[in-house]
Amino acid sequence: MTPGAQGGDAHRPWYQDFFGEEFWAVAAHEYTAERTAAEADYLAEVLDASAPGRRVLDLGCGTGRHAVALAGRGFRVTGADVGEWALRQAARSAAAAGVEVEWLHLDLLREQSWPVGEFDAMVCVQSFGWGSDAQQLRLLREARRALVPGGLLVLDHSNVLTIASHYVPEATFETEGLLAVFRRDYRVVRGRSTGSIEVRRGAAEPVVIRDDVRLYQPAEVRDLLIRAGFEIERADADFTIGRQAALTTRYVQFVARNPEAADTTAINRWEEPPARRRTEPAAPGPADAVVPGDVVDLRWSPDEIDFVQPSVDRAFRGVTSGTARAYHVTDPYAAAQAAPVLSEHFGLELRPDTVTAGTGATGLLHACAALAQPGPVLHLSGGHPDLPRWAARLGSEAFATRIGNLTADLDRHAPSVLVLDRPTIAGDLYGRETLDEIARAARARGTTVVLDEAYAVYAGPDASCVPAVSEHDNLIVLRSMSKGYCCGGLRVGFAVAAPALTRRLRDVLPPLGASGFGLTVALRLLAQGDIFAGLRARIAEVKPEVTALLREAGLTVTEGAACLPWVTAPAHDAARALLERLGLRVKEVPGQETPGTGGQLGSRHQGDAGAADRELSDTENSGRIFKIAVPLSDARLTAFRAAFTRSGQHA
């Protein structure tokens, strides 16, 4: 009896030798042409409907069953597998079918960084569970990195709940010229099935190949996908779209997406996903710049600096090189320096044990994601995605909600953290009364509230909810120097919370995050008080005209709070065509609250009747909207008006 080649190296993983000629001689009787065609039909239908493009990577492609079939259906396929014998067979199959497939010899579990390009989609069928849980998680994270933002993963796995019902320690399969003896031992605590297949073909000496497979419950695979950073859209059963998995389901297919904002762009708040844009926009130019070709760029507000420039210049004036070299080891969170300035700025007493400085709102949100462990996290639908995504990658579940559904969703999900944006993407600058109600409801359920006020600076310090931390020991309010101040490059942000909650935040936030230079300039800016009166006056002057022109052209515009330099409109094909005809370039972002719901903290869940029973109702699709910056400078406003004159929309 000849053992498999894996027996010669204790450090060589079993799967590198298991999937060779002997295995595939047995598997060929299970993976019939009819089964392969049905599975490929399912994969093609899912990819056609949901993938952003045609570039597909087949993870653990084996002999190319699905890779060749998908290539025959018009996809640009790359197949990756650790088995050299299987890849040779796959290449022969592709040649016989007359299709082109790129084949990669790659150990997906052990390769630290996959030498691959970008893909619009990946499929992984019957190739999951060969390594440890940590290796599977690393595989999924590497897969997400190789997917374009918005890219799709279809991950199939064998459901151990079904396998266990007919698991036997020994079984025999025999057909003409082939005898296979399966010996298995399921280790319940480890969740792994270890064993061997003794394969005898004709009169040849039998060959024994050994395996050690991790068998997963669907809930365990779901957890790994979430921790890897995927957003799960649904789970299908036995390669049938829409069929729910049950105890008797043999194969479960998870359909998951790489979040629309990639790691490198997630800090751009409410940014349009690059996968949908197809081409990256140029960085915004000077305040009065207009995009060539009579296109007015309304994705940003580069002209707001015109109205705060004197204050910014005063803050930078006289800052010395000694300030840049400052290293405040005795005040690692800049609390002693910042507390007096913030107290004066917001008009209340803030002690050093309530103030924490970090690397902008982004750095503070990252720390709050760690603070959220073990989760789950509840966030407003369409809100800024950083915290919930980071928390998910640390192992927390993330659920979307609406202000009108908060009470029911707090009860339903029992979140450790609720993250809110103030204002919302639609411009709802809900007031202190609404926040107090939310904070009390969250406190009664043991939930910490993280209130992101990065955009609230436009309303001035008197409109901030920072004073609320004195009444709510479960509230963290975040502020930054980016929006309005036009000083995001300082990388300084502040978190204000009750002392006990501040201590918890500092447990997970790296010290010395705010540089001496950036902190000095930021505090000088804040010490000047409300510097936005002129900016608010300009917004109030031009926003009604901008709104009126857009509405006259046919857009359904939501103005939001009067002090905010943007408006929103539903993103649909007709609106998209209108904006293109006008020559207006805007951001397309996830939608959020229906206007007018702010301040109504509901006690009844308003979703469909079966929402409580849905296993994968992590997100609520409230549609997409256009976020349109209000042109503030004379040059940009003139160009905006001209767009309507050129198109005949306005005389």
Q: Show the domain range for 497.
A: 318-527
Using the predicted structure, report yes or no on whether residue 17 has a pLDDT greater than 50.
yes
How many other CB atoms sit within 10 Å of the CB of residue 507? Answer: 10
Let me know whether 344 and 475 are in one domain. yes
For the stretch 95-144, pLDDT in tens is: 999 999 999 999 999 887 788 999 999 999 999 999 989 889 989 999 99
Let me know whether 508 and 465 are in one domain. yes
In a domain, 340, yes or no: yes
Q: Determine the pLDDT at residue 9.
A: 53
Let me know whether 483 and 504 are in one domain. yes
Q: Which of 512, 527, 542 is the last residue of a domain?
A: 527
In a domain, 209, yes or no: no
Q: Determine the pLDDT at residue 192.
A: 94
Let me know whether 108 and 128 are in one domain. yes
Let me know whether 401 and 371 are in one domain. yes
Let me know whether 359 and 443 are in one domain. yes
- Distance between CA atoms of residues 314 and 582, nearest Å: 39
Q: Determine the pLDDT at residue 440.
A: 95
In a domain, 200, yes or no: no
| Residue 490's CATH number | 3.40.640.10
Let me know whether 233 and 286 are in one domain. no
Q: Determine the pLDDT at residue 590.
A: 78
- The residue among 549 and 259 whose pLDDT is bigger is 549
For the stretch 30-71, pLDDT in tens is: 899 999 999 999 999 999 999 999 999 999 999 999 999 999
- Our CA angle for 167, 615, 372, nearest 5°, is 110
Let me know whether 520 and 586 are in one domain. no
In a domain, 196, yes or no: no
- Distance between CA atoms of residues 393 and 141, nearest Å: 9
Let me know whether 495 and 629 are in one domain. no
Q: Poorest-confidence range of 225-229, 327-331, 616-620?
A: 616-620
- Distance between CA atoms of residues 254 and 155, nearest Å: 5
For the stretch 273-282, pLDDT in tens is: 333 333 333 3
Q: What's the number of domains the chain is made of?
A: 3
| Residue 148's CATH number | 3.40.50.150
In a domain, 119, yes or no: yes
Q: Determine the pLDDT at residue 375.
A: 81
Q: What is the rounded average pLDDT for all residues in the chain?
A: 87
Provide CB contacts within 8 A for 608, sequence distance 6+. none
In a domain, 11, yes or no: no
Let me know whether 491 and 460 are in one domain. yes
Question: Per-residue DSSP letters for 48-106?
Answer: HHH-SSSEEEEET-TTTHHHHHHHHTT-EEEEEES-HHHHHHHHHHHHHHT--EEEEE-
Provide CB contacts within 8 A for 154, sequence distance 6+. 43, 46, 47, 121, 122, 123, 124, 125, 253, 254, 255
In a domain, 628, yes or no: yes
| Averaged pLDDT for residues 231-247 | 95
Let me know whether 333 and 421 are in one domain. yes
- Characterize the bridge pairing of strands 147-158 and 251-257: antiparallel
Q: What token pair was written down for 225?
A: 């996908």
Let me know whether 378 and 415 are in one domain. yes
Q: Tokens 């990669």 appear where?
A: 104
| Averaged pLDDT for residues 344-365 | 96
| Residue 574's CATH number | 3.90.1150
pTM score, whole prediction = 0.72
Question: Residue 7, SS3?
Answer: helix
In a domain, 185, yes or no: no
Q: Which of 470, 496, 527 is the last residue of a domain?
A: 527
Confidence of residue 10 (pLDDT cuts 50, 70, 90): low
For the stretch 514-540, pLDDT in tens is: 999 999 999 999 999 999 999 999 999
Q: Which of 470, 504, 527 is the last residue of a domain?
A: 527
- Distance between CA atoms of residues 289 and 286, nearest Å: 5
